[in-house]
Amino acid sequence: MVICAASNNAGKLKELRRILERMGHEVKSLRELGIDLDPEETGTTFAENARIKAKAFCQASGLPTVADDSGLCVDALHGAPGVYSARYAGHHGDDAANNAKLLHEMEAVPAEQRAARFVSAVCFLLPDGRELLVEGECPGTVAFTETGTNGFGYDPLFVPDRVGLPDGTTAENTARRSYAELADEEKDAISHRGRAMEKLRAELPAFLGEQ
């Protein structure tokens, strides 16, 4: 199946493409499809924003479309930055500014109170209007400093509780490595987006009437 990946975020597109192609689908980016849209994300939940993006890009592409809305929810900040994760510092997509603001807001928070979770809502929408919505979470903590380069967004600051292993299982993240220090396979097995996409993989055949 040819699927439109509804994201202008290069890092997110890379993850969506990697996971969907592993499922056997062909993924087309917005650039490859010649689509230049920036739908306003007015939802108050990740699911609402994923649905908004899926509808806009499905209509523009005429293809089955997968859209993700995700973010970091920090307990000490009462769930912030949440749905405003990408524009936490005021400008959409400024990772450096967002991370700097998060570190500033968490400056006085002790290690035992830095619990957080990444949340991902994925909406798969067909041109006929049928929709499949799944969500995934990854618990962890907010680090005191940024580490790693294999990631984007808040990845250098987020330390997941567990990491993926080559056999498909997971293990406790005893080395306290950040998302951005994990290899793709280690991250996909435990990441919020990886878990949401695994649910999508499991539910998609029945949704498409293939079984």
Which residues are designated catalytic? Answer: 69
- Please answer whether residues 57 and 33 qualify as being in contact, where contact means their C-beta atoms are separated by less than 8 angstroms: no
Alpha helical stretches, state H, the chain: 10-22, 30-33, 46-61, 95-105, 184-188, 192-207
CA distance 79 to 72: 8
Closest CA to 45 of 119, 99, 141: 119
CA distance 88 to 82: 9
Q: How crowded is residue 160: how many other Cβ atoms within 10 Å of its Cβ?
A: 27
CA distance 54 to 131: 9
CA distance 165 to 199: 19
CA distance 127 to 65: 8
DSSP symbol at 180: G
Phi, then psi, of 87 in degrees rounded to 5: -125, 30
Which token pair is 144? Answer: 């005191």
